[in-house]
Amino acid sequence: MRWIVNDLEDLRRVAGEFLAAAGERRVFALEGPMGVGKTTFVKAVAEALGVEDEVTSPTFAIVNEYRTKGGETVFHFDCYRLKDAGEAMDMGCEEYFESGARCFVEWPEVVEGLLPEGTAVCRLAELADGRRVVELED
């Protein structure tokens, strides 16, 4: 699936359609260059899921945990500062990924070997005119 995001308001529509297309998948590897909007995308998806807390970048915390209005847990990872998969294992990444909660992982290449089978790859890119592209691999 592929979506063009025209502006921040349009991102809400895309987030809802993304969740519908994702189905039962729970772990999402978010790929894209720095500044493309990965965290902004997770904010929109979390809002679509019913998270009312402010969603912020987990750059320094590595992982943030949120709850939806319905009590579902959502984890948001930023693995940019991790040195390697061993460091991710030490912090228990595998347990998060296997928890059944939705997990959104920025900079997934650092933890690639730890991601469970069936992880959905989501690529974000910027077009020349500033719009964003979101692609979800089937």
Q: pTM to 2 decimals?
A: 0.94
Is CATH 2.60.40.3880 what the domain over 2-136 is classified as, yes or no?
Answer: no
Q: Which two structure tokens, joined as six digits, stand for 42?
A: 């997770």
86-119: pLDDT as tens digits: 999 998 999 999 999 999 999 999 999 999 999 9
26-40: pLDDT as tens digits: 999 999 999 999 999
